[in-house]
Amino acid sequence: MTVDDTHFDWVIVGSGFGGSVSAHRLSQKGYRVLVLEKGRRFEAKDFPKTNWDLKRWMWNPALGLKGIFQMTFMKHMTVLHGVGVGGGSLVYANTLPTPKRAFFESGSWSGLADWENELAPHYAEAKRMLGAAPNPVVTRGDRLIREIAEDIGREEHMHPTEVAVHFGKAGETVTDPYFGGEGPDRTGCTHCGACMTGCRVGAKNTLDKNYLYFAERNGAEVRPETEVTAVRPREGGGYVVETKPTFGRDRGDRVTAERVIFAGGVMGTLPLLLRMQEDPEGLPKLSARLGDFVRSNSEALIAIIAPKKGTNFTKGVAITSILHTDEHSHLEPVRYGPGSGFFRLLMAPHAPGSTVLGRIWGGLRAFARHPLRWLRAFTVPDMAKHSQVLLYMRTLEGTLRMRLGRGWRSGYRRTLVTEVDDPSLAPSAFMEEATDLAERFAEKTEGVAATLTTETLLGVPSTAHILGGACMGATTEDGVIDAQHRVHGYPGLYVIDGSAISANPGVNPSLTIATLAERAMSLVAVKDAGVAPKAEASAAAAPRQRAAM
């Protein structure tokens, strides 16, 4: 008996946190799994040394850029997201926080399950698989934020981050310390600060070193550089998945599957589903809620550039600590490694305001207050060493809608666009507390506060955590998927990625996406009831590390 090499039990579109977790658990249960990823597969040596190496860091195939990081500029949001085998884990900042209770009790998914209690064991398992450990190093940025915490009476609300990093002896390679030696070798973190340009050391616990690693060992197939163009119902049951090569002009291909998981993230899943919703032979019965309730973590990204000689903020992992400023807001110090000063080209003075003229005037006033600081700040030889990015997030909601449309940004081709009904309810580029915290940090470092030019000139907020758009709901009138991530109206279709997040977690969402995938896959039966699932390597006891903040 021969196996049809074009038919699978499950096809997974995307290899990020939702896709990799699903691939591992399904292959573990005996299913034949295919993972399709439009980006490349990367080894440690393939990552750029700095983000000036645009060909290896930035993603824009039309310009010959085949890296791990993509920026998408939209009318109401600038989205920063990841590409490649392992998805956002290649470029994210490693942090693995659990949201507070309010997240589990709000949004379109509230009432569909006792989410906080039901997800608790899955959070624990996801943290185990991802190798979560407390950051053991206190950096200069942490000490400055500690001072700010004391100034505002919140010092007891600051703590180290839990991160997906191997903290062994710096630079020393050891046999897998997480899965009883069954996983890949790991190298101790050198605290070089380059987590977000791709870990060239081998310390970052990216998905290709855990979930995806074991999925492939269990027989799952991963096809990189393959973009999915359509998913349509198959005559007789299941689905046809049409693909094309990401690079080159070769003819596309197609595979079939009993079930399909959309796991390409908001910026991959939504345009594909929206195209299929418009296609009479595609998925026209998709919920009218598709594209609604798109949200971010309501964050602000403000860079403090301190030109003083000898300044170096690059030492440490990407994010080393968290300060909770109140019950729904927190601040994190973020860094890039030495030499990664690309964002110098996109920066302007941080100048909150409701109008373009007001923001320009605010930027001019900021420059006039400290002209020498600004001149020195924008001419420092190594921007990364002199910059501490402050990431401010809050759980308060701000939503918009995504649809297919045309615009000058896309050359008037149909692409993903944003819409808002009430601008006051949409995500904002400026938040008073974020500005206050940034100004405090700037004064302590004799520095200046800067943001992306799109914020200063256009008032468009930026996010590294785009979420929602295929949210949960009890019926097709309420949401795109049900509480088990099954697409309403289409048996065998699932959405398991950031677009399924149905409320604002207010924290870095990667752990939550992995946790939801763990739960969703726990509800899928083993393929052959008479055969036990493939055993997973047991977790080795990782050394517990503490850091005094």
Query: Global pTM?
Result: 0.95
Helix, strand or coil for residue 408? Answer: helix
Query: For residue 186, which of 106, 131, 135 has the smallest C-alpha distance?
Result: 131
If the chain, 549 residues long, is cut into consecutive pieces of 10 residues, what is the mean pLDDT of each piece? 77 98 98 98 97 97 96 94 97 96 94 96 98 97 98 97 97 97 97 98 98 98 97 96 91 94 98 97 97 94 96 97 95 98 95 93 93 93 97 90 78 82 84 96 97 94 96 97 98 98 95 98 88 61 34
**Residue 426 pLDDT:** 83
**Residue 333 pLDDT:** 98
The answer to whether the beta carbons of residues 512 and 500 sit under 8 Å apart is no
Which residue has 């295919």 as its token pair?
Answer: 34
Query: For residue 213, which of 98, 89, 58 has the smallest C-alpha distance?
Result: 89
Give the 3-state secondary structure of 2-24: CCCCCEEEEEEECCCHHHHHHHH
Catalytic residue numbers read 465
Mention the CATH class of domain 12-41+84-131+205-295+467-529.
alpha beta
DSSP conformational letter for 419: E
